[in-house]
């Protein structure tokens, strides 16, 4: 890990003495979208002396990373770290170790925070109180191309869209918030051991492991820390063209099954027979010539067909990981 900061004199002059909150942006070779995120952070209504911006760059080239850090040298309160160990969870943990404020907010490199984002997060922590270890905010989509007709509201969560209303409140059971807009009390995050490096994305997106935020929420809860939601703390998140196709959603749901198995192996193993029945029911509903693995890869018409296919893919991966056996019926 190497810190690529401003020259010592300039950094000391601009560094906030006692920031109230650290903003962490973890990135991997995505400088074209990072620029917009950092511009939005520079335009926050919270005075720059009250927060610091920490970029953890996982990109492979240190030379390129250094050059990019210098392009943003005018940012009044930025620190830039080139982190050689890959992985989003590791990068987030690096940010937690380096943070200087009692709160740390994570935002994706392709997200655009609203100008009052940090103010609303601070208000939410004040309103909910010390018992809340973490708070997530609203995430609205920016579609890079028109939203496909097959992309139902039910599937938006897979591209990190979170809209639970406008209130500031506790998260209800089975509700979740996403890492594109989430903040923690730093002491609670450190005590819980940070993010699991067995989960979360690595590198260029070939792996779509997830569940890092929800797994952390479970560990925080075990230590008495609650999770909240701040509906007025809003970021707008880019949904890139590469994700707006059914192939990506099929990959995403398969990796979700892997992520869930890593997180709860006994539970997933115990449900293997139910999963196998779902797979067989899906195949039985296909035309005779498609009752093979091809049925898991074909484009689906808008409507319930895609959701049924994705559910079957999830169940099939669960069965493979469980080595489920079949019996004649």
Q: What confidence tens digit (pLDDT) does each residue in 158-181 have?
A: 999 999 999 999 999 889 999 999
Q: Count of alpha carbons within 13 Å of 45, Cβ hemisphere only?
A: 11
Q: At what angle do helices 304-322 and 272-284 cross, to 10 degrees?
A: 140
Distance CA 308, CA 229 (A): 30
pLDDT at 11 over 90: no
Q: What are the start and end residues of each CATH 3.90.550.10 domain in the chain?
A: 2-243
pLDDT at 108 over 70: yes
Distance CA 187, CA 232 (A): 24
Distance CA 30, CA 59 (A): 8
| pLDDT-based confidence at residue 211 (cuts at 50, 70, 90) | confident
Question: Chain-wide mean pLDDT for the chain?
Answer: 90
Going by CATH, does the domain composed of 2-243 fall within 3.50.50.60? no
Could you give the dihedral angle defined by the CA atoms of residues 140, 197, 38 and 45, in that order, rounded to the nearest 10 degrees? 70
103-118 mean pLDDT: 97
**Cα–Cα nearest to 184, from 127, 129, 135:** 135
Residues 6+ apart with CB under 8 A from 67: none
Distance CA 12, CA 31 (A): 26
Q: What confidence tens digit (pLDDT) does each residue in 219-277 have?
A: 999 999 999 999 999 999 999 999 999 999 999 999 999 999 998 999 999 999 999 99
pLDDT at 2 over 70: no
Higher pLDDT, residue 16 or 126: 126
Q: How many residues does the chain have?
A: 329
């Amino acid at each position: 890990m190497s810190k690529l900061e401003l020259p010592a004199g300039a950094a000391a002059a601009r560094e906030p003495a006692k920031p109230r909150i650290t903003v962490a942006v973890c990135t991997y070779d995505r400088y074209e979208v990072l620029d917009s995120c950092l511009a939005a952070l520079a335009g926050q209504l919270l005075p720059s002396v009250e927060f610091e911006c920490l970029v953890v760059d996982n990109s492979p080239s240190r030379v390129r990373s250094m050059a990019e850090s210098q392009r943003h040298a005018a940012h009044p309160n930025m620190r830039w770290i080139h982190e050689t160990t890959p992985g989003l969870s590791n990068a987030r943990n690096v940010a937690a170790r380096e943070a200087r404020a009692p709160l740390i907010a994570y935002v994706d490199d392709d997200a655009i925070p609203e100008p009052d984002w940090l103010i609303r997060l601070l208000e939410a922590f004040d309103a909910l109180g010390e018992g809340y270890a973490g708070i997530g905010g609203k995430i609205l989509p920016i579609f890079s191309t028109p939203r496909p007709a097959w992309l139902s509201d039910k599937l938006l969560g897979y591209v990190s869209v979170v809209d639970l209303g406008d209130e500031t409140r506790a998260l209800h059971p089975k509700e979740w918030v996403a890492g594109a807009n989430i903040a923690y009390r730093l002491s609670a995050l450190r005590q819980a051991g940070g993010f699991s490096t067995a989960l979360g994305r690595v590198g260029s997106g070939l792996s779509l492991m997830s569940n890092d935020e929800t797994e952390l929420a479970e560990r925080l809860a075990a230590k008495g820390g609650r999770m909240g939601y701040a509906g007025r703390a809003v970021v707008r998140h880019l949904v890139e063209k590469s994700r707006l196709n059914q192939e990506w959603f099929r990959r995403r749901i398969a990796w979700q099954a892997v992520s869930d198995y890593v997180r709860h192996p006994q539970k997933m193993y115990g449900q293997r027979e139910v999963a196998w029945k779902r797979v067989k029911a899906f195949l039985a509903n296909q035309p005779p010539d498609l009752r093979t693995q091809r049925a898991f890869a074909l484009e689906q018409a808008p409507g319930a067909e895609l959701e049924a296919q994705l559910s079957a893919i999830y169940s099939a991966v669960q069965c493979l990981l469980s080595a489920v056996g079949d019996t004649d019926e």
